[in-house]
Structure 1
């Protein structure tokens, strides 16, 4: 019986570690590009798409939110989004980048996810929004399904903070304080 419990514990630990992201503080993000759909662009009220690459995450401090294409994943870090709005960071030194994994959407809702991303781009035109149809980012960064990952990178694209899952109040304050430090 004891061996069975140990085997179950070992299996659980191995599967947990196997699903851990591969994003490390002090390093650049693993390289990835999104060919379809990619980064949303805005021309007047018309939304278009262009290929996006993680190599573009330099030049400004950024909070990257990589989320599954599900409302539950979007809501997971809604308090952080409100804190970002309240912080009113300068667009000259800061950029929010939201990467939506359309491949991790509830079956049959892909069109809604795309439409919602387009509406968000119209509402927050200064934000960088990436619609990832095939889940390339989640695959390259080894992100968990049905989740939200928050990553802060500095102007050189070096990771300064990373967490999968909902941030608590202390972590939200930590992220906002870190961005304030990075943009000074």
Structure 2
């Protein structure tokens, strides 16, 4: 038994140092090379931080593009999904309530036209992006509230649409915070 105990303790200590000290230091060092130095990429307007580029935020006013719903109420400290399946009655009620709210705030939009991402929360609960289609379906509401031409809002969406990674991987996306900041800057 003594022959097995000593190597087991040494291996445990070595793995503890590797996974609790060395690995986190390496990851933190790599993060320092990222935009924002690992502290997050802030979005600043007129010298004031208005949010983070990679964390979804709540926009519910009719004058703004709505974000994707969040299962954690946009709390970055508790990033998570709801873990409710598509047949869960509570989940279905929440989705139906989001659909009903969307239709009330976007008259003329049919239930079948609403992109799923506008009524279902993402896995992290903090998705900062929408598809261009999810942004476009909100244009009539925003144009009416702000007194802007729909063509100008469509152009704004096009200007803020990022294509797939390397032109091959993933969907095109629109960052909701960047889009709303640009919307506020329109005259």
State if a TM-score over 0.5 links the two structures. no
- Relative to its length, the structure with more strand (as a share) is 1
Q: Which has the higher contact order (CA 8 A, sep 6+)?
A: 1
**Structure number, greater radius of gyration:** 2
